Amino acid sequence: MHTVPDLRAHGGADAFLRNCASRAVLDLLTNKWVCLVVGALRPGTMRFGELRRRLDGVTQKMLTQTLRDLERAGLVHRAVYPSVPPRVEYSLTPLGQNVAGLMDAIRVWSEEHIDDIRTAQEAYDTKAGEELQPV
Amino acid sequence: MHTVPDLRAHGGADAFLRNCASRAVLDLLTNKWVCLVVGALRPGTMRFGELRRRLDGVTQKMLTQTLRDLERAGLVHRAVYPSVPPRVEYSLTPLGQNVAGLMDAIRVWSEEHIDDIRTAQEAYDTKAGEELQPV
DNA sequence: CGGTATCCAACAGGATACTG
DNA sequence: CAGTATCCTGTTGGATACCG
C-alpha cells in the first residue's frame, strides 16, 4: 500500500515496467515484419501472395505468423472469399490505420538515414581497430 | 533496362528490399530495448546503473549490447570518467534525438492502446474456441 | 492460392561468475 | 560501478513437405 507504482498520464500504463501490459504491446510493434506488413497495407488491401512478393525475403511461415499476430491484436482484418482458388485479402482496421503512420515513419526514417548510420558504424569500427596499434 | 527497381523520394533506399541497407537500420530500430533505452535517454544523460534500474527486466548483457549497438550506429554517446569507482554516462547524439520522438511515440502508443489490443485479442481467442463447438 | 505441420540450425537472451 | 566471459536454454526463423 505504500508504493503505488508510478502512475502516468494514461491509466497507469508504463512500458518501462516488466509486467505492464504495454510492454507486450511494445514487443508486438517493435518487429521488422510487423512494420513492413503494416506499411505495405497502408495504401490498401492486399492478398497474401502480394504481400509475400512485396516483403522481399519474408518466408511464408513468418508472414503467416505476423499476419495472425496482427489480426489477433485487431490491427489487421482478414477476409476469406471461398472461391477456387481461395482468395484471402488483408487490410488495416481503424486501429491498424491509427498506428500505420508511426510504422511508416520508422521505415522512412531508416531509408533516409542509411548514410548517417553507416558512416557512424564505420567510424566506430575503425576506431576500435586503431586503439590496438597506436604507433 | 526495362525495370528500374522503384526509386523513391530518398536516394533509392527501400526497406521492402531484402538487401537494402535500410532494412538493417529498420532491424536495429524495431527492437524493444532500443526503443526503451532511447526513450529513457530522451530527457537527459543517464548512467549505466540508472538505465538498468529504469528498464525493468533488462539484463546487464542485453543493456550493454543494446547500448553498444546504439553507440556504434551513432545514436548514443558514451562518456567514460576514469574515476574510482568508474562512472559511465550515456546520452543521445543529435541523430539519436532525431529519432527519439519516433521511439517515444511508439512506446506511448503502446501504453495508450493496451485496452484496445487486449479486447481484440480476447475476442479473437474466444471466437477461435467457439467455432469448434457451435452448439 | 493460402495456408498448416514438422524438423532443425542458429541465435537471442537469461543466469552466473569474474575483473579493472 | 560498469562491465566481460561463459554457459546453457528457449525461441526464432529457415527449409521442406503436405493439405483444402
Q: How far is the CA of A7 from the C1' of C2 (A)?
A: 45
Using the predicted structure, report yes or no on whether residue B122 has a pLDDT greater than 50: yes
Cell of A135: 604507433
**Closest nucleotide (CA of B86 to C1')?**
D1
Report the residue of chain A nearest B122, measured CA to CA: A72
Q: Are A107 and A32 in contact (CB under 8 A)?
A: no
Asked whether the beta carbons of residue B121 and residue A8 sit closer than 8 angstroms, the reply is no
Q: What is the pLDDT of residue A83?
A: 86
Cα angle value A43/A44/A47 (rounded, 5°): 130
Q: Which residues of A54-77 are buried (b: 16+ CB within 10 A; e: fewer)?
A: bbeebeeeebeebbebbbbbbbbb
pTM assigned to the model: 0.90
Does residue A10 sit within a domain?
Answer: no
CA distances to A81, A102, A108, B80, B89 from B86, in Å: 64, 39, 39, 8, 10
Using the predicted structure, report yes or no on whether residue B84 has a pLDDT greater than 90: no
Report the amino acid identity of residue A53.
Answer: R
Does residue A125 sit within a domain?
Answer: yes
Task: Identify the domain containing residue B72 by its residue range.
Answer: 31-129
Report the side by side order of strands in the sheet with A76-81.
Answer: A46-47, A87-92, A76-81
Across the range B34-42, mean pLDDT stands at 96
Does residue A135 sit within a domain?
Answer: no
- Please state, in angstroms and rounded to a whole number, the distance separating the CA atoms of residues B105 and A129: 37
Q: What is the pLDDT of residue A4?
A: 43
Q: What percent of chain A has pLDDT over 90?
A: 77
Q: How far is the CA of A62 from the C1' of D16 (A)?
A: 15
Does residue B119 sit within a domain?
Answer: yes
- Please state, in angstroms and rounded to a whole number, the distance separating the CA atoms of residues A103 and A108: 9
Q: What is the pLDDT of residue A3?
A: 42
- Please state, in angstroms and rounded to a whole number, the distance separating the CA atoms of residues B38 and B24: 18
Q: What is the pLDDT of residue B10?
A: 62
CA distances to A9, A23, A101, B118, B128 from A95, in Å: 21, 18, 11, 12, 21
Minimum-distance residue to D20 (CA–C1'):
A86
The total of other beta-carbon atoms located within 10 Å of residue B73's CB is 24
Residue B93 sits in a domain of what CATH number? 1.10.10.10
CA distances to A112, A115, B77, B108 from A129, in Å: 28, 21, 19, 39
Does residue B25 sit within a domain?
Answer: no
Asked whether the beta carbons of residue A30 and residue B25 sit closer than 8 angstroms, the reply is no
Does residue A19 sit within a domain?
Answer: no
Give the closest residue to A17 by CA, choosing from B105, B62, B40, B45: B40
- To the nearest whole Å, the CA of B16 is away from the closest chain A CA by 5
Q: Are B34 and B28 in contact (CB under 8 A)?
A: yes
Q: What is the pLDDT of residue A128?
A: 72
- Domain total for chain A? 1
User: Which carries the bigger pLDDT value, residue B133 or residue A122?
Assistant: A122
Does residue A2 sit within a domain?
Answer: no
Question: Which parts of the protein come within 7 Å of strand D, by CB position?
Answer: A 57-62, 85-86; B 47-50, 60-61, 64, 67-68, 78, 85-88
CA distances to A116, B32, B66, B106, B107 from A73, in Å: 34, 17, 27, 15, 16
Does residue A98 sit within a domain?
Answer: yes
The tens digit of pLDDT for each residue in A92-119 reads 999 999 999 999 999 999 999 999 999 9
For the ranges A57-66, A125-134, B101-110, the lowest mean pLDDT is seen at A125-134
Q: Are A111 and B23 in contact (CB under 8 A)?
A: no
Give the closest residue to A30 by CA, choosing from B31, B1, B57: B31
Stated as kind and residue range, the H or E segment containing A87 is strand A87-92
Using the predicted structure, report yes or no on whether residue A5 has a pLDDT greater than 50: no
